[in-house]
């Protein structure tokens, strides 16, 4: 099943299928290692539910839900 990263629950894992969006945000995502094929683990959400914290390429990355919306994921184990 494919869904965007902002809809992930804490503890969910998946593989990046595509990165949408444009300009600075998209480039920044690429530069931080958010590229297709990388596996992502949703570690936690901020106390107010947004932004989110994920583990990618062996480090912790934080991004807003509005930015995570651009990241299309394939949920692991399905």
Contact positions toward another protein, by CB under 8 A?
19, 24-38, 44-51, 53, 57-64, 67
User: Between 35 and 75, whose beta carbon lies closer to another protein?
Assistant: 35
User: Between 29 and 73, whose beta carbon lies closer to another protein?
Assistant: 29
Q: Comparing C-alpha atoms, which of 25, 36, 22 is closest to residue 72?
A: 36
Tell the smallest beta-carbon distance from residue 31 to another protein (Å): 4
Tell the smallest beta-carbon distance from residue 69 to another protein (Å): 13
On whether the CB atoms of residues 70 and 4 are closer than 8 A, the answer is yes
Q: Give CA–CA dist 16/65, Å, rounded.
A: 15
């Amino acid at each position: 099943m494919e869904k965007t990263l902002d809809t992930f629950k804490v503890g969910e894992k998946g593989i990046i299928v595509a990165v949408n969006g444009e300009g600075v945000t998209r480039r920044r995502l690429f530069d931080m290692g958010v590229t297709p094929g990388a596996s992502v683990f949703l570690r936690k959400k901020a106390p107010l539910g947004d932004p989110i914290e994920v583990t990618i390429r062996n480090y912790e990355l934080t991004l807003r839900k509005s930015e995570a919306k651009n990241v299309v994921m394939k949920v692991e184990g399905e």
